[in-house]
Structure 1
Amino acid sequence: MSYWFNELPSDWNVVKVKNVFNMISGGTPKSDIEEYWSDSEVIWVTPEDLSKEGKYLNDSIRKISNLGLQNCSANVIKANSIVVSTRAPIGNVKVSTVPFTTNQGCKSLEAKGKVNITYYYYVIALAKEHLNNLGQGTTFLELSNYSLKNVFVPYPDINSQDLIAYYLDTKCNQIDELIVAKKKQISLLEQQRQSIITEAVTKGLNPNVKMKDSGVEWIGEIPEHWEEQKIKYLFFESIERNFSEDATLLSLFTSIGVKPRRDMEEKGNKAQTVINYKVVRKGDIVVNKLLAWMGAIGLSEYNGVTSPDYDVYRSLNSARIEELYYHYYFRNHYFKGDCFKFGRGIMMMRWRTYPEQFKSILVPVPSKEEQTQIANYIETKEKELALTIKNIEHSIHKLKEYRQALIYEAVTGKIDVRDMELDEVR
C-alpha cells in the first residue's frame, strides 16, 4: 500500500481521514435575498478565505443569517474544526476557533474522538500536493468527498500529537516572524524606490539648485530653470492602425508596464486578430484610459500593436524629450492622482482619463540632458534595489522551504521534537 508520506515510527498507526473526522459539506444561500445575508450571524467560509496566510480563519469573513443557513441546508460546524478547500485551488486549510459553515467549495472536518486539531492542521496542509493530484474535472478541478475521506494520514498517540503540535507552533511562529520581518524590509525598499523616483523626477539631481513653485500641489517646488508644459505640447496621440496579422501584440500591466502578450499569455486571453489594432513603436507611451488613475501607463520597449481601447502617445520632438524620464514620471504614485483629477466617470470602476484630459495635465520639463541623467540615475537605483529585494525574496523562499521540511519531519515522527532547535536560516 502506497502513502503520500514515507515511513513512520513503528508504534504509529496509519488511518484514513474518515476514521478520524466526520466530513461535512456546505452550501450557498441565494445571493439576491437580503434576509439571508442581513443580520448575519454565522461565518460562511469560501475557498478564497482559505487562500490567505495564517492558520486560523480571521474575523473579516462574510457571514450569513440563520435563515440563509436553513435555506442552503448547510450545517453549523463546531469550533476547533478544520476546513479544507476542495475546489481549485484544492488543499488550502484553516482551523476555526468559532462555529462556522462553508459553501460547497469547502469541506469541514469535525474530530470524532480525542485528537489534536493543530497536529492534523499541519498534516493536511502538508498533503496539499497529494490532494491536488486527486482532483478531477474538466472545467475546474474538484476533490470528491470519497477521495478526501480516503486519504491516508499518520495516527500517533495523542501525547505525541500534542508534543508535535506544540513544537511546530513554536518553531513555525519563529520562522513566520522572520518572514514577516523580511517582507517588511521589502515593503520599506519599495517605499524607498518610490521616494527616489518622486524626488528625482520633480527635484532633479542637484540638491543646491534654486527652486520655484510648480503650480502642481503634489510636486511643490521644482528647479527654477525647468519649464512647465501641458502634455499636449510634449506628446501627440498616435492613431496609426495595423494591417498585418504578424504584428507582435503588446499588453499593458499596471505592475510591470508594457510587455509582449506572448510572454504573459497565462495572465490573459489571446486576441483572435490584431488587424486594426493601434501601432506601437519603441519609445511610445501606452495609456489604459480606464485604469490610468491606478497607474496603467508605461513606455514600450518593443515595436508592436496594442488594443484599440488603449491610447498611444509619441513625442513631438525627440531632441527635447527623453521618453524614459516621462515613463518614470507617469508611473509615479502621485501622478495617478492627476489622472484621477483630470478624468471623469459616473463611478470609480468607470473612471476614464481620455486623451483630451490626459494631454491637459501640467508636467515639469527639464532639459533633454537632465531628463536623460535623471532616467539613468533612476535605472541604476532601481537595479540596486531590485537586486536587494531579489536576495531577500530568495531568503524568504528558503525559509518557507525549511518550514515545509520541518513540518514533514515532525508530523511523520522523523525528529525528536523535544530536542530540535531552529536552525539559522537567513
Structure 2
Amino acid sequence: MSAGKYKPYPEYRDSEVEWLGDFPSNWEVEPSKKVLTLRRELVGTDHASFQLLSLTLRGVITRDISNGEGKIPAEFNSYQIVSPDELIFCLFDIDETPRSIGLSFHEGMITGAYNVYRTSPRYNPNYACFYFLHIDSFKGLKPFYTGLRKVVRADTFGTIKIPIPPLPEQIQIAKFLDYETAKIDELIEKQQELIALLKEKRQAVISHAVTKGLPPEAAQKVGLNPHPPLKDSGIEWLGKVPEHWNVSPLKQHVDTINGFGFSSSHFQDEGVPFIRAGNIKKKSVTQPSIFLPEKIVSAYKRVILKKNDVVISMVGSDPKILESAVGQVGIVPPSLAGAVPNQNVVIMREKGTVLLKSYLFYTLCSSAYRNHLNVFSHKLANQSIISSSLLAAAYFTFPNLKEQKTIVSFLDTEVVKFDSLTAKAKRTVGLLQERRTALISAAVTGKIDVRDWQPPKERKAS
C-alpha cells in the first residue's frame, strides 16, 4: 500500500525476517512465545456458569444454546475457559480457514480444538489481533498433518518471529485502526445493504410480473391492458391474478426428468461433466469437478442436458438459507450441454409450444414458487428434500404465448439493470475490503507512522 496521506517512519532497519523486510528502527523482533502464553484451563463440570463462544467471520461471538444457536455438545469436559482480552487462534486447516484469530470480549468457554492465548503486559491484545488476522506469518513453517488437515502445532507457532513495537505505539496503532476500519466497515455495510435491497427489488419485479402481469406503464407501452380485471386464483400465495390468465399446475405444462444415480466408481477427472444439486447456484449451473466416461453416459440419453435446459435441485439446506435451500433453479449454459445430472436434480422441459422456456424459468424464480417449495419440502437428516412430483404440483399462472413474450422481454431488461447495479456495488465492496486490509497491513508492520494521529474532532451542530 502506498503511504498516501500517511507518512512513513523517519528511520528503518532490516528486520531480518524475510517476509517482513524493513521495519521502524525502534521496533524489535521476537518469537511469538515471548509475548503470547498458551492457556488451556478446562471448564470441567462447571460449564453452566460460562457462555458458549464461537470464532466466526464476525469475530468471537456468544451463542445462546437455549435458543438453538449452535449445536449443544454432549459434554463440555474438553471445553476451555476464555477471559476478556484473550486471543483465540484457529491453527488447523490454515490454508482454508477464513477467520484464523479473534479477540474475546467475553468470559466464556470454547471448544478445545482452538488455542487460547494470553498476551504479556508488553503486548497489546488489540494490536495482536489486527496483526495476526491480516499478516501471513505462517510462510515457510512446516505444517503438521492430521489426516487431510493442515495444522500448526503450538510449539511451532511459538517460533514465529513477529514485530514488537513499543507498547504505547501498539496501543496507538490499534486505536488508529479501530477508528479507520470502523469508517470503512460502515461504508461496506451501506453497500451490502444496497446489494440486499437490489436483490429484494429484483425478486419483487420478477414475482409481480409472473403473477400479476406488467406494471401499468410497461403494459401500456406494449399495448396490454394496464389494469386488467382480476380473479381469485384459489391459491393462497398467488392471491388475485389477471382474469384471462390460466391457473393450473406446472405438471400440465412441463415434463420432469429425474437425473440418474451414477456410481461413484465411474467418477474420473475428465469426460462428461457430472452435475449435482450443489452445482446449481445463482440461477445458473457451475462447472463441476467430477466427470463420467462417455460409454457410461451413452446409455442414459434421456438425462443428457441440452443448452438452456431448466434444472432444479431436489435437496438443499434449511429454507432460511436461501442461497442453498432446496429448489435452486438454473439454466444450463452452452458449455455444459451434454452434461448429465445426478438423482437429486430434475430437468423441467416444457410440453408443446404453449410455454416459453424463459417464462418457465422466471416462474420458478418467483417468491410464489419459493413459498410452494418451503411448504412441501421436508427435513431428512440434515437436509431438506422435495420430490419431482411435488416440484411439478405447484399451481401457477400462465398467460398466452404473446403475453409471456412481453413479460420475458420486460424482465430480461429489468434484470440486466438490477444485475449491473449489484455488480457495481459488489466491486465497491471489494475495493473497500482491499483498502481495509492494506491499511491494517501497513500500520501493523510500520510502513506508515501513526504515532501523531488523532481522531478528527466532531463538528458541533450549528
TM-score range with shorter-chain normalisation? 0.7 to 0.9
Q: String of CA shifts for 1:178-235, please: whole Å, max 9, x gaps.
A: 1111111101111011111111111222232332222222222222221122222211
Unaligned runs of 5+ in 1: 30-35
DSSP 3-state at the match of 1:392 = helix
Partner of 1:175: 184
CA contact (8 A) 1:250 1:306 kept: yes
CA deviation after TM superposition for structure 1 residue 282, in Å = 3.3
Partner of 1:14: 29
CA change 1:411–1:235 in 2 (3 A) is: same
Picking from 441, 445, 460, the partner of 1:408 is 441
Separation in structure 2 between the aligned mates of residue 119 and residue 346 of structure 1, nearest angstrom: 45
Bigger mean CA offset, 401-410 vs 95-104: 95-104
Amino acid across the alignment from 1:57: I
CA change 1:405–1:226 in 2 (3 A) is: same
DSSP 3-state at the match of 2:149 = coil
Does residue 113 of structure 1 match 2:121?
yes
Bigger mean CA offset, 398-407 vs 357-366: 357-366
Amino acid across the alignment from 1:416: D
CA deviation after TM superposition for structure 1 residue 303, in Å = 4.0
Partner of 2:239: 220
Partner of 1:332: 366
Bigger mean CA offset, 406-415 vs 140-149: 406-415
Picking from 142, 150, 153, the partner of 1:141 is 150
CA contact (8 A) 1:40 1:63 kept: no
Separation in structure 2 between the aligned mates of residue 333 and residue 310 of structure 1, nearest angstrom: 20
Partner of 2:314: 289
Partner of 1:33: none
Percentage of pairs with the same residue:
22
**TM-score, structure 2 length as denominator?**
0.76
Separation in structure 1 between the aligned mates of residue 341 and residue 190 of structure 2, nearest angstrom: 40
Separation in structure 2 between the aligned mates of residue 40 and residue 114 of structure 1, nearest angstrom: 34
CA contact (8 A) 2:92 2:151 kept: yes
Does residue 364 of structure 1 match 2:390?
no
CA change 1:41–1:131 in 2 (3 A) is: farther
DSSP 3-state at the match of 1:280 = coil
Amino acid across the alignment from 2:228: V
DSSP 3-state at the match of 1:119 = helix
CA change 1:162–1:196 in 2 (3 A) is: same
Amino acid across the alignment from 1:307: N
CA contact (8 A) 2:308 2:332 kept: yes
Amino acid across the alignment from 1:305: V
CA deviation after TM superposition for structure 1 residue 239, in Å = 6.3
Partner of 2:206: 197
Bigger mean CA offset, 215-224 vs 115-124: 215-224
CA contact (8 A) 1:211 1:221 kept: yes
Does residue 378 of structure 1 match 2:411?
yes
DSSP 3-state at the match of 1:175 = helix
DSSP 3-state at the match of 2:163 = strand
Unaligned runs of 5+ in 2: 1-15, 220-225, 320-324, 457-462
CA deviation after TM superposition for structure 1 residue 80, in Å = 1.0
Bigger mean CA offset, 116-125 vs 376-385: 376-385
Separation in structure 2 between the aligned mates of residue 374 and residue 14 of structure 1, nearest angstrom: 66
Picking from 298, 305, 317, the partner of 2:330 is 298
Picking from 319, 323, 331, the partner of 2:357 is 323
CA contact (8 A) 1:283 1:300 kept: yes
Amino acid across the alignment from 1:366: P
CA change 1:358–1:157 in 2 (3 A) is: closer
DSSP 3-state at the match of 1:294 = coil
Bigger mean CA offset, 375-384 vs 238-247: 238-247
Partner of 1:210: 229
Please give the residue correspondences for 1:10-409 in structure 2 after superposition, counting only pairs within 5 Å: 10-24=25-39, 40-43=48-51, 45=53, 49-54=54-59, 56-60=60-64, 68=75, 71-72=77-78, 75-88=80-93, 89-90=96-97, 92-127=100-135, 129-131=136-138, 134=141, 135-137=143-145, 139-205=148-214, 206=219, 207-238=226-257, 247-252=272-277, 253=279, 255-259=281-285, 263-265=287-289, 274=297, 278-291=303-316, 294-301=326-333, 302-317=337-352, 319-343=353-377, 345=378, 352-409=385-442
The number of equivalent residue pairs is 400
Separation in structure 2 between the aligned mates of residue 240 and residue 172 of structure 1, nearest angstrom: 48
CA deviation after TM superposition for structure 1 residue 14, in Å = 1.2
Separation in structure 2 between the aligned mates of residue 96 and residue 63 of structure 1, nearest angstrom: 20
Amino acid across the alignment from 1:180: E
CA contact (8 A) 2:92 2:150 kept: yes
Which structure has more relative contact order (CA 8 Å, sep 6+)? It is 2
Q: String of CA shifts for 1:373-420, please: whole Å, max 9, x gaps.
A: 222322222222112111111111111111112112222233232348
Separation in structure 2 between the aligned mates of residue 240 and residue 165 of structure 1, nearest angstrom: 55
Separation in structure 1 between the aligned mates of residue 431 and residue 308 of structure 2, nearest angstrom: 39
DSSP 3-state at the match of 1:8 = strand
Separation in structure 2 between the aligned mates of residue 77 and residue 328 of structure 1, nearest angstrom: 50
Separation in structure 1 between the aligned mates of residue 171 and residue 427 of structure 2, nearest angstrom: 33
Separation in structure 2 between the aligned mates of residue 251 and residue 398 of structure 1, nearest angstrom: 33
Amino acid across the alignment from 1:295: G
